[in-house]
Structure 1
Amino acid sequence: MNKQLLLAAFIASATIAAPVLAKEITVDFSLPEFSTQDYNKPYVAIWTEAQGKNDTLLLWHLTKRDEDKWLVDIRRWWRKVGRYGDLPADGVTGATKGPGEYSVTLDIGELTAFNLMIEVVREDGGRSLLRQKINSQKNQKYTLEADAEIGNVTINVGK
Structure 2
Amino acid sequence: PEEGTAARVAVQDGAVATSGDYRRGYEIGGRRYSHLLDPRTAAPATGVRSATVMAADAVTAGALATALAVMDPDEGQRLGDSVAGAEYLLLAANGRPILSRGWGALAQTPAVGGMELAVEFEIARVDGQRYRRPYIAVWLEDKDKFPLRTLAFWVEKSRWWPDLRSWYRGDRMRALAEGTEIAATIASATRAPGKYTVKWDGKDGQGKLVKPGRYAVCIEAAREHGTYQLIRHEMEFNGIAQSVPLKGNVEIAAANLAYRKAAR
TM-score, normalised relative to structure 1: 0.75
List alignment gaps of at least 5 residues for structure 2.
1-110, 176-180, 204-209
Q: Is the CA contact 1:48–1:115 (under 8 Å) kept in the aligned structure 2?
A: yes
**Residue 112 of structure 2 contacts residue 237 of structure 2 at CA under 8 Å; is this kept in 1?**
no
Maintained 8 Å contact 2:138/2:153: yes
The 5 Å alignment of 1:33-44 reads 33-44=125-136
C-alpha distance in 2 between matches for 1:83 and 1:70: 18
Distance 2:194 2:200 in 1: 19
| Other-structure match for 1:46 | 138
Residue in structure 2 matching 1:106, options 183, 200, 203: 200
Deviation of residue 25 (structure 1)?
0.6
Identity percentage over the alignment?
Answer: 29
Partner Cα distance (2:159, 2:184) in 1: 16
Structure 1 unaligned spans of 5+: 1-18
Cα offset for 1:83?
6.6
How far residue 84 of structure 1 moved from its aligned partner, in angstroms, is 4.4
For 1:28, the equivalent position in structure 2 comes to 120
- 1:9-158 matches, within 5 Å, as 21-52=113-144, 53-55=146-148, 56-62=150-156, 67-82=157-172, 84-85=174-175, 86-88=181-183, 90=185, 92-109=186-203, 110-112=210-212, 113-137=214-238, 138-158=240-260
Aligned length: 136
Question: Kindly tell me: are residues 73 and 36 of structure 1, through their superposed partners in 2, closer, same or farther at Cα, counting changes over 3 Å?
Answer: same
The root-mean-square deviation of aligned C-alpha atoms, in Å, is: 2.2
Q: What secondary structure is seen at the aligned counterpart in 2 of 1:38?
A: coil
Larger RCO (CA within 8 A; separation ≥ 6): 1
1:43 maps to amino acid: Y
- Tell me which structure has the larger Cα radius of gyration: 2
Structure 1 segments, 4+ long, off by >6 Å, are: none
Query: What is the TM-score with the length of structure 2 in the denominator?
Result: 0.47
